[in-house]
Amino acid sequence: MILLLAVVFTASCSKYQEKTSEMILFGTTCRITASDKADFDAVWKRLGELEDNISARSEQGDLADLNSKAGQGWVEVSQDLYDSLKIALDIASRSNGAFNPAIGELVNLWGIVDKHPDVPSESDLAAVMEHIDWHAIEIKDDDGITMARITDPGVRIDLGGIGKGIAADLAVSLLRKQGIKSALVNFGGNIMCLGSHHTGEPYRIGIQVPFANRNEYKQVVQVIDQSVVTSGPYEKNFVGSDGKLYHHIIDSATGYPADNGLASVTIIGPSSAICDGLSTSCFVLGLDAGTALVQSMEGYSAVFILDDGTAVPVGISL
Ligand code: AMP
Ligand code: MG
């Protein structure tokens, strides 16, 4: 009997076939590697809906609608947008506004993501800086009717700093509901693992050497059921006519790309949305305030890479 069971068990193990499925979502290549039994199409379909609901760049979407009604009172919003705004406002508060979901007009002005940009003029910058206060964003849930409002007509919301993390969490929860036990989600470098590798080993995730080739790693972390998210200036940037490098993570205190001695920040923890929000926050905050923020979040750790290449671990040993 034991022998028979052992034979059945080995046979079912040997049948495990892994598949990687890809889709362009949230302006990046999203990849899921899991058993070929997973219903990848169902996951991509739901993530497409999420993108429409929370991306400021989905023109017909829920967030575009809320942004277009800034200053006009409460707007009914999808559960997706409500939940995302809730996480964004929580991280804004914990990071003292370093994470700023009201940064939309500043992101548009710099145009790093979708235009051919140059450094904005001081006067354009000063005008936009009047309209980036995240306290202008409010949410409420009236007996299951989820609502949001932007009290300043000049404020536009941008959830680009947590969107991929929210998507990664959703992908893993959908796969888990399908009965999948092991999966690796990689949404533009935003990693989330479901369980461990199907062999039982932890997933080994490399932290990229800033500005180097994609497969050059500074450190490797081993994770089970956790997310690993990096923010850095090397993903989206441009060289201005003054010869300086400008990137996409903006310090709303100055209006300029954050510049405080960090080459990248990686956050490791159970929620990819929170890792994503924290990595953007810590990149703006710098090493000292960023370390304090990570230490205040139970279950989260970080690796800061300084401009000189030194890796500084917080709550994790390398
Ligand atoms: P990430 O790559 O997750 O660090 O997010 C960067 C993206 O978040 C940018 O492309 C902007 O859309 C948005 N963003 C830029 N600066 C901030 C900020 N200070 N707070 C929140 N979101 C930001
Ligand atoms: Mg982020």
pLDDT at 8 over 80: no
User: Which one, of 271, 279, 275, 228, lies nearest residue 249 by Cα?
Assistant: 279
Give the nearest ligand 1 atom to 236 CA.
10
Q: What is the pLDDT of residue 116?
A: 62
Length of the chain: 318
- Cα of 17 to ligand 2 centre, how many Å? 32
Residue with the nearest Cα to atom 4 of ligand 1?
Answer: 280
- Higher pLDDT, residue 27 or 267: 267
- Cα of 162 to ligand 2 centre, how many Å? 5
Compute the chain's Rg from CA coordinates: 21
Give the nearest ligand 1 atom to 229 CA.
3
- Spatial neighbors of 60 by CB under 8 A, at least 6 apart, are 52
Give the nearest ligand 1 atom to 100 CA.
20
- Please tell me whether the overall predicted TM-score, pTM, comes out greater than 0.75 for this model: yes
- Cα of 4 to ligand 2 centre, how many Å? 50
**What span, in angstroms and rounded, lies between the C-alpha atoms of 73 and 26?**
28
User: Which one, of 110, 91, 144, 75, lies nearest residue 237 by Cα?
Assistant: 110
- Cα of 248 to ligand 1 centre, how many Å? 6
Paired tokens of 236 = 């989206």
Q: Which residues line ligand 1 (CB under 6 A)?
A: 99-100, 103, 107, 113, 158, 160-161, 231, 248-250, 252, 276, 279-280, 284
Residue with the nearest Cα to atom 12 of ligand 1?
Answer: 160
**What span, in angstroms and rounded, lies between the C-alpha atoms of 107 and 60?**
19
Mind listing the pLDDT tens digit for each residue in 111-158? Answer: 876 666 778 899 999 999 999 999 999 999 999 999 999 999 999 999
Residue with the nearest Cα to atom 2 of ligand 1?
Answer: 231
Mutate to test the pocket of ligand 1, among 103, 192, 272, 304 (most ligand atoms within 8 A of CB): 103
Give the nearest ligand 1 atom to 113 CA.
10
Residues 164-188 have a mean pLDDT of 97
- Extents of the domains making up the chain: 6-48+161-234+261-314
Q: Note the Cα 266 to chain centre separation in Å.
A: 11
Q: For residue 14, what pLDDT band results from cuts at 50, 70 and 90?
A: low
pLDDT at 240 over 70: yes
- Cα of 261 to ligand 2 centre, how many Å? 18
Contact 34, 175 (CB under 8 A): yes
User: How far apart, in Å, are the Cα atoms of 188 and each of 22, 159, 229, 261?
Assistant: 11, 15, 10, 24
Mutate to test the pocket of ligand 1, among 95, 249, 276 (most ligand atoms within 8 A of CB): 249
Backbone torsion region of residue 52, taken as left when φ is above 0, otherwise alpha when ψ lies between -120 and 50, otherwise beta: alpha
Q: For residue 96, what pLDDT band results from cuts at 50, 70 and 90?
A: very high
pLDDT at 2 over 60: no
User: Which one, of 194, 199, 195, 143, lies nearest residue 170 by Cα?
Assistant: 194
Which CATH code of 3.10.310.30, 3.90.1150.10, 3.10.520.10, 3.55.40.20 fits the domain covering 6-48+161-234+261-314?
3.10.520.10
Element (H, E) at 233: none
Most confident of 28-37, 55-64, 213-222, 225-234: 28-37
User: Which one, of 202, 182, 233, lies nearest residue 18 by Cα?
Assistant: 182
Give the nearest ligand 1 atom to 235 CA.
2
Residues 11-16 have a mean pLDDT of 61
Q: What is the pLDDT of residue 62?
A: 96
- Higher pLDDT, residue 244 or 122: 122
* Residue ranges in the chain assigned as alpha helix (H): 2-14, 40-54, 62-68, 79-94, 104-110, 122-129, 163-177, 272-285, 287-295
Residue 221, CA atoms < 13 Å, CB-side half-sphere: 27
Paired tokens of 255 = 């209006």
**What span, in angstroms and rounded, lies between the C-alpha atoms of 183 and 105?**
37
User: In one letter, which amino acid is 275?
Assistant: C
Q: For residue 3, what pLDDT band results from cuts at 50, 70 and 90?
A: very low
User: Helix/strand/coil (H, E, C) string of 76-92?
Assistant: ECCHHHHHHHHHHHHHH
- Cα of 164 to ligand 2 centre, how many Å? 8
Residues 205-209 have a mean pLDDT of 84
Paired tokens of 14 = 């040997």
**What span, in angstroms and rounded, lies between the C-alpha atoms of 201 and 219?**
18
- Cα of 189 to ligand 1 centre, how many Å? 14
- Cα of 198 to ligand 1 centre, how many Å? 33
pLDDT at 286 over 80: yes
